[in-house]
Amino acid sequence: MPHAVTIATPGLQALILCGPGSSFPTFTANPDENPKALLPIANRPMVWYPLDFCYRAGITNITLICPPTAQQAIQTALNTNPFLTSLPYPRPDLLAPKDLDQNTGTAEILRLPQVQETVTSDFLVLPCDLVCELGADKLLQAWMVKSASLTDLLDDTRSENVPPKRSGGLGVWYQTKTATPIKGEETDFLATVPLPSSSVSPPRGSLFPNISKVVYSTPTDSLKDLLEEEKGFPIRHALLKQHPRVRMLTTHRDAHIYIFPHWIMDFVRENERLETIGEDVLGWWAKAGWQKGLSKKLGLDAILGQSSTAVSNTDGKTSPVGSHSPKDSTVKHPTGSQIHDAISASGTTNLEGPVRPVIRTGDKPGHEETESANEKQNDSTIPPMLAYIHPSSSTDSTSTPLIRRVDTAQLLLQISLQLAKLPSIEEVGSAEAASPFAHTRKVAYPEGVKPRTTITKQDSLVADNVTVQEKTSIKECVIGANCQIGEGAKLSQCLLMDGVVVGKNCKLTKCILGKRSEMGEGCTLTECEVQENLLVEAKTETKNEKFMSSSGLEATEEDLAEDDDDEENDGNGNDEDGEDEEDDESAEE
């Protein structure tokens, strides 16, 4: 039974952005009917993970933001999906601003009037495809201690704090190069500098040793464009003068977990050129920390000057950023070529990190002293954006908690299988000791499993109401609710979404089967993706193929609405699908 959250709420609200999932072409061909947020990861809808992430830390003021076209599908899921309904109270709000479509940039979302109204305090921004085992409470602790300002939190308006110190933000980056690398995973370029050393040693178990200050952030794609255009990586003098030790990371990825102070809403509102959070908001904010005069141009000085409570000036001036594009402002630094060497040496084609260019600006140490004094002043005006760089889990995947964005089909398969390996609550003995992502049981409905079958329980998950016929073998698989596995089927490293029917003697390896798809008898598929509601012809043998219908309109409203009459609907839908399927194949041949 769902219960109310019984832990302290940290006073932040969370925004979960439910995007279109353009990188799942097979499964989100129709993002309004089948939003990415509802794709199952280890049998739970994707959006359950960020929601659970919030509830675990006591954050109960949660707003899901989705395009109006996808609102109904998500609302239905929130009301009916057993995992979503068993989350604690209070329930998340679903906000579907009318100007939001599937292609709106993340910063543009923050600028929408409804969202501006919704956000009234410091806030978290999460993607819907986040699987984060690390507790948000630890991130919040890091933010509260390293980035938040007590002046802001306590409304300390006494005169001694002039200029008032404002809260900063915190983001999370993780290493993509793990023991099992995934092809085509996006990366982001990040440059950080160490925090000013503190006399206090960081407490054990805290994230402090891995926290640094962001000075440059951009997606790898944008970086590549820049490298191409400039034939090098231009770096400003100001950055190197203020921060002699810059660390550049090229294989990490922005987890899109941001803890932001409330003034970011003003910052985004005032600068209409900001399109995305990861590239623009973070990028410009980080630069404003060291680039002279930039904070004024971005209107940051004015925003930070005003007190946290007084929010006025709604139709304020548009920022001059427009006339001031990043390229114009960048001065090519002589040592820039060195850095370029460092980067191109490790490969612009194959970016490897961490890249640590050795830069000598020729400053005398004494000079540095005064510079760092300047920097101190600068720091006090622009609050820091900090990065928690999640240590790589390549050595031992069990010891470091999992942080991953699941935004490709391959990631979906891999993360699902990885989560399936977690011991269930039943095996561990108590819900408190088990991982937050553990299921109650590995096989939710043992009665549906006929004797003489093999299910490797340590690495498989079989959801509710699944029937498994005799002589089947299920190894390292995640099987969604209401699936039917025919006699003699052999499944290995597969992900089956809800209601999949696998015919007799099918052999499936590393396949992802969309919901209510059907495999004909005797199929042999390897590394295939099958779209929802499709029928794969009996005896199909193929490898590395994506089965999609050409029309992309399989999941009609009727299908979703009349879930109960599974039989009839499925029958009809699948017939059509089958035809489509044939068309596809003949076209290919």
Q: Which of 68, 83, 105, 137 binds other proteins (CB under 8 A)?
A: 137
Q: Which of 179, 345, 373, 553 binds other proteins (CB under 8 A)?
A: 373
How many residues of this chain interact with other proteins, rule: CB under 8 A? 61
If the CB atoms of residues 462 and 523 are measured against other proteins, the closer one turns out to be: 462
CB-based contact 394:181 (threshold 8 Å): no
List, in order, residues 6 or more apart from 303 with CB less than 8 Å away. Answer: 263, 266, 267, 270
Q: Which of 98, 183, 204, 317 binds other proteins (CB under 8 A)?
A: 204
If the CB atoms of residues 376 and 543 are measured against other proteins, the closer one turns out to be: 376
At residue 350, what is the residue type? Answer: N
The strand pairing partners of 408, in sequence order, are none
Q: How far is CA 54 from the centre of its chain?
A: 14
Asked if 461 interacts with other proteins (CB under 8 A), we say no
If the CB atoms of residues 75 and 149 are measured against other proteins, the closer one turns out to be: 149
DSSP 568-579: HHHHHHHHHHHH
If the CB atoms of residues 324 and 471 are measured against other proteins, the closer one turns out to be: 471
Q: Which of 307, 454, 544, 551 binds other proteins (CB under 8 A)?
A: 454
Query: Measuring CA to CA, which residue among 321, 363, 173 is closest to residue 255?
Result: 173
How many residues make up the chain in this entry?
589
List, in order, residues 6 or more apart from 108 with CB less than 8 Å away. Answer: 274, 275
Query: Measuring CA to CA, which residue among 252, 271, 208, 240 is closest to residue 354?
Result: 252
Name the one range near other proteins by CB under 8 A: 2-10, 211-219, 336-344, 412-420.
2-10
- Whole-Å CA distances, 512 to 40, 245, 271: 11, 45, 42
Asked if 166 interacts with other proteins (CB under 8 A), we say no
Q: What count of Cα atoms within 13 Å lies in the side-chain half-sphere of residue 205?
A: 5
CB-based contact 47:37 (threshold 8 Å): yes
If the CB atoms of residues 328 and 447 are measured against other proteins, the closer one turns out to be: 447
Query: Measuring CA to CA, which residue among 589, 585, 490 is closest to residue 530?
Result: 585
Q: Find the shortest distance in angstroms from Cβ 241 to other proteins.
A: 19
**d(Cα 21, Cα 120) in Å, to the nearest integer?**
28
Q: Find the shortest distance in angstroms from Cβ 431 to other proteins.
A: 7
Asked if 447 interacts with other proteins (CB under 8 A), we say yes
Number of neighbours of residue 24 by Cβ within 10 angstroms: 23
Q: Which two tokens stand for residue 580?
A: 């489509």
If the CB atoms of residues 11 and 305 are measured against other proteins, the closer one turns out to be: 11
Asked if 383 interacts with other proteins (CB under 8 A), we say no
If the CB atoms of residues 395 and 458 are measured against other proteins, the closer one turns out to be: 458
Q: Which two tokens stand for residue 327?
A: 């390229």
Asked if 7 interacts with other proteins (CB under 8 A), we say yes
Q: Find the shortest distance in angstroms from Cβ 17 to other proteins.
A: 22
Binding residues for other proteins restricted to 34-73, rule: CB under 8 A: 56-58
Q: Find the shortest distance in angstroms from Cβ 336 to other proteins.
A: 32
Query: Measuring CA to CA, which residue among 156, 55, 36 is closest to residue 406?
Result: 36
Q: From start to end of 143-272, where are the E strands?
A: 169-175, 188-194, 211-219, 247-249, 252-260
Q: Which two tokens stand for residue 37?
A: 């947020």
Asked if 365 interacts with other proteins (CB under 8 A), we say no
Q: Which of 91, 145, 230, 459 binds other proteins (CB under 8 A)?
A: 145
Asked if 451 interacts with other proteins (CB under 8 A), we say yes
Q: Find the shortest distance in angstroms from Cβ 174 to other proteins.
A: 17
If the CB atoms of residues 264 and 534 are measured against other proteins, the closer one turns out to be: 264
Binding residues for other proteins restricted to 417-446, rule: CB under 8 A: 426, 429-433, 436, 441-443, 446
Binding residues for other proteins restricted to 206-245, rule: CB under 8 A: 206, 208
Contact residues for other proteins, defined by CB under 8 A: 3, 5-12, 56-58, 134-138, 140-141, 144-146, 148, 150, 153-156, 158, 160, 198-206, 208, 373, 426, 429-433, 436, 441-443, 446-447, 449-455, 457
